[in-house]
Structure 1
Amino acid sequence: MLNTRLLGSMADSPREGKRAGPPHFTQLTDMASEFVGGTILFATDDFFAPAENLIKRDSPRFKEHTYTEFGRWVDGWQTRRKRSPGHDWCVIRLGVQGLIWGFDVDTSYFVGDHAPRVSIQAANYKEDKQPEIPQREVRTGVGATPEEFEAIAELKSSDWNHLVPMTELKPGTPASSHNYFPVSSQQRWTHVRLNIFPDGGIARLRVYGTGQKDWTASDPTEPSDLVTIAYGGACVGFSNAHFGHPNNIIGVGQAKSMADGWETARRLDRPPVLESDENGVLLVPGCEWAVFRLAHPGVITQVEIDTKHFKGNSPDSCKLDGCILTTQEEEDMVRQNWDLPGHKWKPLLPVTKLNPDETHLLDSLMPELQDVITHVRFTITPDGGVSRLRLRGFPSSICLLRPREKPAMRFSVKAGFRSNL
């Protein structure tokens, strides 16, 4: 699994002439995707195809000989041929807000009509400081209205930080459609502005990174989901992900289908005839597991396990364990495929029977509040699918201290532990 602390030492993205796979940052969350709540706030022009296509979760498609009343059907954002001063641009509010590690400007199937150049800017707005931008309608054949230009001007997006300077793009042939741009900034971002010069088409914009929450602004009396990708949680190891990655279950919002969850293959070591114990839990030898790094170290008080959409393939049971690991210990465990000594894990939830297509709300069984958790291991038996895992609790206040402040509660943290895992 990708360790974001190692991204700073990555080599530059592959350029023309090099045969290499995608850069490592593409394993991170697409923070702009509609799947995690990304939203197009504004686009100068949507004549041939709307900017909303940029943030679709699916890969671009091609339909030969298919036309709309405005021209050839394209799966991306395509503006008209500009005949007035300026250039086209759009603004996206990120669904997951935090650190950006890299971009993929995908020009798939745009050959002869791709945007020749691009630049990308970004800004960080606090929740209560974001200007109100009217929700736009998905449309084609039109450009932005004067009222829309006036509303977006409140963001002053032309002054935002440049994360990608003006750069030439490659046409959307199979060999050159992905234009990767690594980012070295350590700042939190909430919005991006995509500039194309002067006009043209782009299929997808992927904004890869990790969520980051301002924990000092959190209500200390209200529990937060400590594992969600929106705040920086991440899967750092798993046993099997045949039909869906474990990162899906800590995603934003409710799962739309089984494709939005974690689903494993059927284990081949299942007994020919299944039996259960007195509590109805299956007696089987195998299990599957996933390990998650919390977005912030803390105390878990409530566990939500949702098997929505998994009607004939949910797990029989599950359990949850937690531990505290330093940065170095996590890196060691990734290399060892999480073969962690048993005494490190502390039970948060005992073996619990699960029902298909149902939300399970359960109290954590952590005996002492001073046990701060940094990682959890979610185990399902024998196999199957889960749509969402929510771990609600309270961040460790010792990691939130400002200078000269005293902790409100006593939390113990191992020597050498760094809160910014």
Structure 2
Amino acid sequence: MNKKYIQKNYINLCSKVLGTKIHRFSDQFFGSASRLLKEEQPIFKEGVYDKNGKWMDGWETRRKRIEGNDYVTIKLGLPGKINFAEIDTSYFNGNQPEYASIDACYFEKNKFNWVNILSKRKLHPNYLHGFKTQQNNKVFNFIRLNIYPDGGVARLKLLGNLDVSKLKFPNKKFDLLSILNGSKIVACSDEHFGRAENLLLPFKSKNMGNGWETKRRRGSGYDWVIIKLGKPGLIEKFNIETHYFKGNYPSHCSVQGLYSIKNINISKLINESKNWKFLIKNKNLKPNSSLKINSTKHIKKINYLKLNIYPDGGISRIRAIGKFL
């Protein structure tokens, strides 16, 4: 299964955006365990040392002089099912662990009942490892990364989907498109300069690189992104933001919606999306601003949403205020 498919069908449950945090660790002498959860790509700082030795952009334990292995336990911000694991040893060369494994559990009633979701695997230096996990029909809220016997790991990603049935939603209206509420990107035309999944982040964009941006279009057509909601819902208001996009924002946009209980093939979904009902049509956009659109007259139950931008450019966030059914 290719990486592009995985990225479009799963989210990183280890993301700090979801509230994921380090719970416990055996050791972090050379590098903080919290660096495992960083969103940014690992970097290397030539000649930079701290009080314990060479600074490394990852979790690194001291050399083990006793029996056993090192580990870190991580509390997932939101419970979910895990399908793939990425263990990145970028820049760890000669100090990477020899092997790694992953255990997981759903912590409740003060009990950790661990099950293995990734058996002991060989790790290579300076390499991004991708593994399919086991037990991917089970819901977990804690994981434990075991390394054998010691060493450094730059990043850990656990790719899967939130278990919407275990999420708690407020009684008042809220953003149905937030990644925190189970929404995810399923397809997009282009994301040359910025990932489409940034559209669903719950906080205001930090800079231009923190939004969705497509390449300059040199032919006819337009760019688009398709979002699957965590649950079917009714949308009353839209908020489309172009923060930090000043000379590269789209001319205008439109929004379409669909409700379907079928498990639709992605290619078919894309082809049929041209005929979805318009919720917003041809709204002009402005640079570095927020467009609020009242959509009450268009309220329809939907679980798929398509944002079209004409002809190309960047959008920082899209929010759909309403309620799940």
Q: TM-score range by the shorter chain?
A: 0.7 to 0.9
Distance 1:42 1:160 in 2: 15
Say which of 249, 253, 260 aligns to 1:318.
Answer: 253
Where does residue 162 of structure 1 map in the other structure? Answer: 116
Where does residue 93 of structure 2 map in the other structure? Answer: 111
* C-alpha contact (below 8 Å) 2:243/2:288 kept by paired residues: yes
Report the CA distance between 1:125 and its aligned residue: 5.0
SS at 2:280 equivalent: strand
Report the CA distance between 1:64 and its aligned residue: 4.5
Residue type of the alignment partner of 1:304: N
Distance 1:250 1:119 in 2: 31
Report the CA distance shift for 1:42/1:366 in structure 2 as closer, same or farther (over 3 A): farther
> How many matched pairs?
324
Say which of 48, 51, 54 aligns to 1:72.
Answer: 54
Residue type of the alignment partner of 1:264: T
Distance 2:56 2:166 in 1: 42
Where does residue 180 of structure 2 map in the other structure? Answer: 230
Where does residue 295 of structure 1 map in the other structure? Answer: 230
Where does residue 409 of structure 1 map in the other structure? Answer: none
Question: 1:296-316, CA deviations, whole angstroms, 9 ceiling, x for partnerless residues?
Answer: 112111212122222332223
Q: Structure 1 vs Structure 2: percent identity of aligned residues?
A: 33
SS at 1:340 equivalent: helix
How do residues 46-125 of structure 1 correspond to structure 2 at under 5 angstroms? 46-84=28-66, 86-95=68-77, 97-124=79-106
Where does residue 242 of structure 2 map in the other structure? Answer: 307
Question: 1:256-307, CA deviations, whole angstroms, 9 ceiling, x for partnerless residues?
Answer: 22222111122225xxxxxxxxxxxxxxx74322121111112111212122
Higher radius of gyration, 1 or 2: 1
Distance 1:168 1:184 in 2: 17
Report the CA distance shift for 1:215/1:321 in structure 2 as closer, same or farther (over 3 A): farther
Stretch deviating more after TM superposition (293-302 or 223-232): 223-232
Normalised to the residue count of structure 1, the TM-score between the two structures is 0.69
Report the CA distance between 1:24 and its aligned residue: 4.8
Query: Structure 1 or 2: larger strand share?
Result: 2
Q: CA RMSD in A?
A: 2.8
Report the CA distance between 1:376 and its aligned residue: 1.2
Report the CA distance shift for 1:79/1:357 in structure 2 as closer, same or farther (over 3 A): same
How do residues 124-273 of structure 1 correspond to structure 2 at under 5 angstroms? 124=106, 157=112, 159-165=113-119, 167-174=120-127, 177-214=128-165, 217-219=168-170, 221-269=171-219
Distance 1:311 1:185 in 2: 43
Residue type of the alignment partner of 1:323: L
Say which of 4, 7, 11 aligns to 1:29.
Answer: 11
Distance 2:16 2:222 in 1: 33
Question: 1:57-103, CA deviations, whole angstroms, 9 ceiling, x for partnerless residues?
Answer: 23323345443331222221111123355432222233454221111
Where does residue 335 of structure 1 map in the other structure? Answer: 267
Report the CA distance between 1:349 and its aligned residue: 2.2
Residue type of the alignment partner of 1:203: A
Report the CA distance shift for 1:207/1:366 in structure 2 as closer, same or farther (over 3 A): farther
Distance 1:362 1:125 in 2: 42
* C-alpha contact (below 8 Å) 2:79/2:166 kept by paired residues: no
Residue type of the alignment partner of 2:259: I
Normalised to the residue count of structure 2, the TM-score between the two structures is 0.87
Residue type of the alignment partner of 2:324: P
Question: 1:380-408, CA deviations, whole angstroms, 9 ceiling, x for partnerless residues?
Answer: 22321111111222222xxxxxxxxxxxx
Residue type of the alignment partner of 1:223: K
Report the CA distance shift for 1:377/1:23 in structure 2 as closer, same or farther (over 3 A): closer
SS at 2:160 equivalent: strand
Structure 1: tracts of 5 or more residues without a match: 1-9, 11-20, 130-154, 270-284, 397-421
Residue type of the alignment partner of 1:25: I
* C-alpha contact (below 8 Å) 2:117/2:133 kept by paired residues: no
Report the CA distance shift for 1:246/1:173 in structure 2 as closer, same or farther (over 3 A): closer
* C-alpha contact (below 8 Å) 1:348/1:366 kept by paired residues: no
* C-alpha contact (below 8 Å) 2:273/2:306 kept by paired residues: no
